[in-house]
Amino acid sequence: MDPQLTSQIVPVEEVRAIEECLSVLAENTGGNHILLLDKSGQVIAAHGDSTRQDVTALGALIAGTFASSREVAKLLREKDFRQLFTQGVRENIFIALIEDQWILCIIFNKGTHIGLVKVLTKKATDELALVLDRVREQQKARDDVLGSSFRTSMEDTIDLLFRD
């Protein structure tokens, strides 16, 4: 099968490494909310304000913004834009690309200087790039993770929920 079509499986120990990295970044920058996204918009890990209900929509929109900026880069014959900064009245968002697969997003308020966020985010993206490399290397077989009867159970659930 086309390797691009296989799933990306993030093992338990790597999720812990990611959470630790996000936690340190939040502590050092005073960031309110940090998200690690897949380029397709799916949230791999989130740290911070646990009352936030809109994380899924945030992930989709931020990944969309990044994918859109990539197309702008192509039009400008730029390789890609690896960082994006959005400034609000109360909160700011800084987004950085990790290789070509993940997106790190940090939401912080006016009390934090953007320079600090940039420097510390660079350190975090380097660490997360190593995690990504390990995730890519240790792809486990699907059945080891999901179990062989997963597909049948999933099809039953789809039939049950997706109907008029």
Rule CB under 8 A: which residues touch other proteins? 1-2, 4-12, 15-16, 38-44, 56-57, 60-61, 63-64, 67-68, 70-71, 74-75, 142, 145-147, 149-151, 153-155, 157-159, 161-164
Indicate the DSSP class of residue 164. Answer: -
- Tell me the two tokens of residue 46: 């989130």
Closer to other proteins by CB, 13 or 113: give it.
13
Nearest-approach distance from CB 110 to other proteins, in angstroms: 27
- Tell me the two tokens of residue 137: 């290397």
| CA-based end-to-end distance of the chain | 34
Closer to other proteins by CB, 45 or 120: give it.
45
Nearest-approach distance from CB 15 to other proteins, in angstroms: 4
Closer to other proteins by CB, 120 or 131: give it.
131
Q: CB 137: neighbour CB atoms within 10 A?
A: 7
Alpha-carbon gap, residue 65 to 73, rounded angstroms: 12
